[in-house]
Every structure is written in C-alpha cells, then in structure tokens.
A and B are shown apart, each in its own frame.
Chain A
Amino acid sequence: MKPIIEVRQLRKRFKKTLAVDGLDLIVPEGAVMAFLGPNGAGKTTTIKCLLNIHEPDAGAVNVLGIDSRRLGPAEFRQIAYVSENQELPLWMTVRQFLDYCRPMYPNWDAAFATKLMKQFDLPPEGKLKSLSRGMKMKAALLSSLAYRPKLVVLDEPFSGLDPLVRDEFIRGMLELTENEGWTVFVSYHDIEEVERMADRVAILHRGKLQLNESAEDLQSRFRAVEIVLNGEDPQSHAFPESWLNVETAGRLLRFTDSRYAESALNAAMAKHLPTAKHFQAKPMTLREIFVALARTYRLNGLMAQS
C-alpha cells in the first residue's frame, strides 16, 4: 500500500525546546492510525508540520504524495483537520457556518452534511458561540467530513468531551468508511477512545517515534505473564530485555512479555527460573499494552537522565 503520510527525519525546534527530534513515520493508505504519546511528546507539532502550518527545520514531509510545504487548496480539499483548539467563526449559526465552508469545497456533499447534522443533533439555527464544547467539536467535524476527505487528521479531538459525544464523534467519522482509500490519523494522549478503531498504533515520546505497528501484531506479541516461583530469588537474575516491568509479589513474578512465543517463554523460564513450573500468559488489550510501554519509556527516560 502506498503511504498517504511519509515523514523522514523531521526536526522542529522552538527556541530551546526540540519538539520533534528526527521523526520517521509512515501512514499507509486506508489505515486508522492512533498517534499516541504523553502531553508534550510533540504530537501537535508533528501534525502542524504535516499540514504546512509549521515549516520543518529539517527532514522531509510528504502528505498525499506532495511535499507538505507545497500543499495548496487542491490538497486541502481532500484533507480534514479538526483540533482540540479549533477556531470557529462563533458569531455564525451552524447553518451559516456550513454555507460559508461549502463554496471552498467542490466535492461538498450537501445530503451527507444534512444527514450528519441530524445524527449529531446540531441545531441549524443555533449560534456557534452558544453551543457546548462537544457541540462545537461536532460542528467542526461535520464541516470537515461533508466534502468526503481522503485524509482525516484529528488532534486530541476527544479532550473535554463527554463519553456520549465521543461516541457520536467516532460514529459520525466512520460514516466515511466506504470511501476508497480513506485514511485517519488521530492523535491522543491515551488510547482509550481509539482502541477498537485503530488498526495501527504509533507512539511518540520526547519527539521520537518509539513504535509504529499494526494493532494485530502488537496483540499477538504482547502477553501479561505470571509465573509462580518456587523459592528462587528473582532479584538475582538478569531477565531478557523483552520482559518489561518485571515485578514480584510473594511467590508471583509478573511482567509484560513483549516478544511472546510459548516455546521461547518456556526456554527463558528453564534458563532463568529453573525451578518455577507454572506460568500463565494472558492476551492484552491495546490499552494494557500502551500502559506497559508508557511505563517502560518513562523508566528508560529516567535511566538515561541519571
């Protein structure tokens, strides 16, 4: 599949802060990619570089096959962008706002816009400034979906929205599912809302990409493992690097195996914990995997600092 977003060695600095530090990232066409990372990891800066809002200091950024610095109206007609701090013309009503957007997009689908307006329960004659935050976000999403974009970029879209609105938001977006090659790139500090929807996960930490993998591969290689010890002292062992967040409680040794295979785990147990007999390896949700990785990165970050 051809990439719809291709970032090579992107670097962006604001005064003393290196926000993005040599980022490589490929988003294949048709993917729903969750772009995750703690606040301050560089997600928004990356997105602004993708959309030609910021100019990269170094590196190459291609979006829809074009250098991001050369993106123009023809490309922006195929890209939806909704961010946490979306600016809207607050003095307009919902209808006026849509009428205002419409002429900019030759591919505007009025019937689809009407359908979404109903689905989102938006009051056509309501002034944007009088709407709740959730309603404003839905209006912003509607104005971006109505031209059936090829690429939807969402920057922290769920922050401060209640669960019902989040769900409506996701449902509304998935209306576009049948569009050919339709791609979603959504940044969030947590995986929660996008867990089921995402088929790829990228994790950014301190301006660098830590991971870019399909959800399926992640779920097949990660397991929550518990081993019942038989009197050994687990502290005295050097465990494989793929065992993350090793903890003990009583006779129980618990860790996240990031390269799980039953035979490999049996072999590693025979080597490191020869008297332990019993183990249990449970599949993990994307959220559990995300939390395990986030803990690992933080620990590694701390060790690198000290």
Chain B
Amino acid sequence: MLPFLIQIEDGLPVSDQIIQAVRKAMLTGQLAQGDEFPSVRTLSQELRISPTTAHKVVATLKDAGYLASRPGIGMVVTAPKLPERDDRLDHLQPLCSELLKEAQDLHLNFDDIVTALRQAADDNGFLEPAARSSSLGKKSKS
C-alpha cells in the first residue's frame, strides 16, 4: 500500500498526477518529515506504472527537495521548503478559471463568488496558514 492517497484520473500524464498527490499528502500531513517513501519498485507495482515513470516521479520529487536518500532506509520525506508564493498561487489558477467559468454560466458576479468562498471556508473549517501551523504543533517557517 502507498502511504498517500491517489486516484489516477484519465487523460493527464500519470507522473504529474503522482507528484501532485505526494505534494498534497505533505501539505495535509499524510506524509511527514522523516517518513519512509516507497521505492521505485513499490510505486511502479502499486500504481501499475512503467519503471521509467516511477523513476521520473522520484527524481522530480528529489530535485524539488521533497525526498532525500538515506543509506539503508531508502527514500525519506524531507521538509519541503514552501515554494515561492507566486508558484503556490499559480497552483490555484486552473481551479480559479473553472470557478469563474462556472460562475459566469450561472450569471453570478465577482462578489457572489467571494460570498460563496467565505461560505465554503466556514463550512469546511478553513484555517489561515498561521492558525493551521500552530494547530498542527509545528513552527511556521518564514
């Protein structure tokens, strides 16, 4: 079994989807610093993906500072430095476009979208980064 949630969807490159899933698992705390990360073989077997793809996923995560090799253990999760704010914002762009499109189809204006977002934040218990890191008992880095 893999230590992070992933549901591979049709149409998008598998490697991108896995990288996204891993990054998300790190943000939500499913994967924490020092956790063992599955080997290339386990990744390829569990997800039924080609060794090349599995290698690529691990190499990409390593380059980005999410994984490090530890002799005798294999791969471990390392504290990823949060990407630049701009990069994190870029991450939201596709979701924003979709939201805007949907709002347009429903003849809702920008204020309506903000209202809906506030509502959703309340419903889902959205925590601001500062509140979130203290609730997880971690020091916020900045």
**Which of A146-202 touch B at CB < 8 Å?**
167, 170-171, 174-175, 177-178, 182, 184, 196-199
**Residue A32 interfacial (CB < 8 Å):** yes
Does B11 lie within 8 Å of A174, measured CB to CB? no
Neighbouring B residues of A284 by C-beta, 8 Å: 11
In the complex, number of A-B residue pairs with CB atoms less than 8 Å apart = 53
Main secondary structure of the interface of A (DSSP, over half): mixed
Does A171 lie within 8 Å of B52, measured CB to CB? no
Does A174 lie within 8 Å of B40, measured CB to CB? no
Which of B12, B14, B44 has its CB near the most chain A CB atoms (within 10 A)?
A: B44
- Please give the distance in Å from B18's CB to the nearest CB on chain A: 11
Q: For the side of the interface on A, what is the size category? A: 20 to 34
- Please give the distance in Å from B94's CB to the nearest CB on chain A: 12
**Residue B132 interfacial (CB < 8 Å):** no
Asked whether A197 and B52 contact (CB < 8 A) given A178-B39, A216-B13, the answer is no
**Residue B54 interfacial (CB < 8 Å):** yes
**Residue A48 interfacial (CB < 8 Å):** no
**Which of B40-78 touch A at CB < 8 Å?**
40-41, 44-45, 47-54
- On A, residues with C-beta under 8 Å from B are 30-32, 167, 170-171, 174-175, 177-178, 182, 184, 196-199, 216, 219-220, 282-285
Bound Cα distance A285, B52 (Å): 19
Neighbouring B residues of A182 by C-beta, 8 Å: 51
Bound Cα distance A220, B54 (Å): 19
Bound Cα distance A161, B110 (Å): 55
**Mask for B97-129, Cβ within 8 A of A = 1, else 0?**
000000000000000000000000000000000
